Every structure is written in C-alpha cells, then in structure tokens.
Amino acid sequence: MGILSGKTGVVFGVANKRSIAWAIAQAWKEAGANLAFTYQGERLKDNVSQLAETFGDDTLITECDVTQDDHIDRVFNEVGDKFGGKLDLMLHAVAFAPKEALEGTFVATTREAFRVAHDVSAYSLVALTRAAAPLMTEGGSIVAMSYYGAEKVIPHYNVMGVAKAALEASTRYLASDLGEQKIRVNCISAGPVNTLAARGIAGFSSMLKHYEAHAPLKRNVLPEELGATGTFLASDGAAAITGQVLYVDCGYQVMGM
C-alpha cells in the first residue's frame, strides 16, 4: 500500500504534461491517492482531460475559474459528491499575471495587472481553502506552489514575486486558522522548471542557466523531485509540518553570491 492509500485529493493548476501540478498529481496517484482535477477554461480542457483520464475513466474533471466564487462552490460540491463528502488533499498550483507585467520593470505595473496577479495567484488559495476545509473532516494537507522571487528580486518576475509573497504569507495565516481542525497548509518554493507559465517570464532560459551554475548541486530541480516533496507534505510523515515554505531548488536559496 502507498503512503497516500485511501486519501482523496483535488488538483488545481494542471495545464499540460510539463506542469508541476501534473508531476505532483502523478506522485500522489502512485502513492495511492484518488484524485479529481480542474481546468481553467476551454483552451486547457482537452489537455487536462487527456492527462487526467489516464488515472481512470471515472476521474472527475471539471472547469474552475478561481476568480469566480460560484465556480469554486460548484467544484467542491462535485468533489464532495465524488468522494462521499470527504477530502484529504488539495494542490494549489495556480498563478497568472498579464504578459506585459512580466517584462520590463516592476514600477511600471498597472493597477489592473497588480489586481489580477494577486486575485489569481494569492487570493485563490484563500478562497479554495475556505471551500475545501468543510470536507476535510479528518484533517488534511493543502500544498501551494511558490518561488524564490517571493523574497528576493528576480529580473522580470515583478508583480508575480509580490503575489507569491502574499501567497506565502497567506499560507502561514491559513495554517494558524485551520490547525485545530488538523488541516496543514504549506508551500513548496520550487526552483525554475520549464513549464507553460514559466516560459511567459522574459529571460527564463537565462534563469535556468543561472540556477544550474550557482546552485550547490549544480543543476536544476526535476519535476519528479517536486512530486516526491509534494507527496511527503501530503503524507502522515509531515503531520507536524504546517505554515512552512520548503525550498526545493538544489540549494540555490542558501547562496549569498
């Protein structure tokens, strides 16, 4: 039996087979979890459906725009019906900022770009957690994805770094609020991975080379390594860990220069 056998979970943020969310979902499935998936808009429906259906023809796959509360309510009603009113795991791997906000300087960020980035990338964790918590009747684990740009300046990451900082702070507050219900909330701060979202950041290929040159392990993190970390955080082995940001970046975060 896998370490997540008997657990149920819902995954937000799969876009394609290179998504970090998909790597973690695969690891959760291999560990025994029964999962549901959401997709953002018709453009991603086919991609997500093709991947999720490899987990079984009866896998729940449903649309969710995380900026719409009615979508969130519907999704968790469907998840509750699917899993008999019980949920153990949630993965939040959702982030977005307008492309023009991920180029040039942070000071040029528009009010609308700032609002959108924070609504999609940070507030959505609060909204999804609020909807998930009533189903986590026996406790649970919520895992969110962050990046080092939340605490240090990364060229062109701009407003997304500020939104990720809000996400990490939200993780701590949610962990405090939900601890008595045995619901744990943590972040994985991943090194750069060649995903659809990451390719929208100007200079991303240079970022990969920089990490490889300067991280103590002299390489970039692999998606399956993030899957393994996500599985640990979802498991009883992490039962005493909540409100934390775990760096999975081949050691880059510890370097001063």
Each residue of 92-104: pLDDT tens digit? Answer: 999 999 999 999 9
Catalytic residue among 147, 148, 211, 252: 147
Say if 224 falls within a structural domain.
yes
> Active-site residue 252, yes or no?
no
Q: Is 220 helix (H, G, I), strand (E, B) or coil?
A: coil
Say if 58 falls within a structural domain.
yes
Say if 228 falls within a structural domain.
yes
Give the pLDDT score at 194: 74
Q: What share of residues in the chain are helix, strand, coil (percent, to 5)?
A: 50, 15, 35
Say if 204 falls within a structural domain.
yes
Say if 192 falls within a structural domain.
yes
Catalytic residue among 148, 157, 247, 252: 157
Closest CA to 190 of 231, 222, 213: 222
**Torsion from C-alpha of 179, 80, 91, 137, nearest 10 degrees:** 20
- Burial annotation 116-138 (CB, 10 A radius, 16+ → b, else e): bbbebbbbbbbbbbebbbebbee
Say if 28 falls within a structural domain.
yes
> Active-site residue 157, yes or no?
yes
Say if 87 falls within a structural domain.
yes
- Burial of 229 per CB tally in 10 Å (0-12, 13-18, 19+): buried
d(CA 37, CA 25): 9
Q: How confident is the model at residue 197 (pLDDT cuts 50, 70, 90)?
A: low
Say if 3 falls within a structural domain.
no
Residue 233: give the domain boundaries: 8-251
Q: Rank 40-44, 98-102, 190-194, 241-245 by mean pLDDT and report only the highest.
A: 241-245
Give the pLDDT score at 195: 67
CATH number assigned to the domain comprising residue 95: 3.40.50.720
Arithmetic mean of pLDDT, 16-22: 95
The residue length of the chain stands at 257
Give me the number of domains the chain comprises: 1
